[in-house]
């Protein structure tokens, strides 16, 4: 991790249809955001908010139950336009690395921007940590965020499907994976001088 570069760990929660037969024109909309801004493995700022959906403003029972989000929380949230403005504030230079667990967060954000006729707020590199985790450990299937952190013998931060808690957990598992990558890098071969202290050896025979 570059000590001067900013990494944004982001998690969104989305609207969900009541069942598999989506209503006409349905698409997932962001209703909660969690963001952790990190420089040099230190958290420099966080942001969390509920977001009002535009197309389907009334949450389904399935969505409310699965995410433990109430209609009142969403009604009192920020608008999607305000969300995009806030994301721009966290990345004004458009150079941050965006890290998510899975690829849906950025896909839904991009689609929501298109529907709202707003510019996508990020131009920096986007990294799907779940795919990196899968490739690193040679798993056949993608692992869920909290299962992945538990495989490290750790626990997730706070509550699963709370956007800020999931973003923080993504940051924590990112540190674990990065440390493992460094550990497995081939070390520089040692020289005989590194292995033998010649000053002590010569003193022994003086």
Catalytic residue list: 13, 161
Beta bridge partners of 11: 34
Element of type H or E holding 169: helix 163-184
State whether the Cα torsion 13-18-22-26 is positive or negative. Answer: negative
Q: Which residue has the tokens 């403005």?
A: 85
Determine whether 118 is exposed, middle or buried from the number of CB atoms within 10 Å of its CB (0-12, 13-18, 19+).
middle
CB-based contact 115:86 (threshold 8 Å): no
Give the C-alpha separation, 139 to 148, whole Å. 11
For residue 84, give the 3-state DSSP assignment: helix
In 15-149, which ranges are E strands?
30-39, 42-50, 97-100, 126-128
């Amino acid at each position: 991790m570059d000590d001067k570069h900013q990494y944004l760990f982001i998690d969104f929660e989305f609207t969900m249809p009541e069942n598999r037969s989506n209503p006409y024109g349905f698409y997932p909309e962001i209703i909660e955001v969690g963001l952790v801004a990190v420089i040099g493995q230190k958290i420099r700022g966080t942001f969390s908010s509920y977001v009002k959906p535009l197309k389907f403003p009334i949450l389904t029972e399935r969505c409310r139950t699965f995410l433990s989000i109430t209609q009142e929380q969403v009604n009192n949230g920020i608008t999607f336009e305000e969300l995009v403005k806030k994301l721009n504030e966290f990345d004004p230079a458009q150079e941050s690395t965006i890290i998510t667990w899975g690829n849906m967060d950025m896909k839904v954000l991009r689609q929501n921007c298109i529907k709202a006729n707003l510019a996508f707020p990020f131009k920096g590199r986007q990294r799907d940590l779940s795919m990196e985790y899968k490739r690193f450990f040679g798993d056949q299937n993608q692992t869920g965020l909290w299962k992945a952190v538990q495989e490290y013998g750790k626990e997730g931060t706070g509550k699963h499907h709370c956007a800020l808690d999931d973003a923080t957990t993504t940051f924590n598992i990112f540190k674990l994976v990065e440390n493992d990558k460094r550990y497995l890098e081939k070390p520089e071969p040692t020289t005989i001088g590194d292995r033998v202290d010649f000053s002590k050896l010569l003193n022994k025979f003086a």
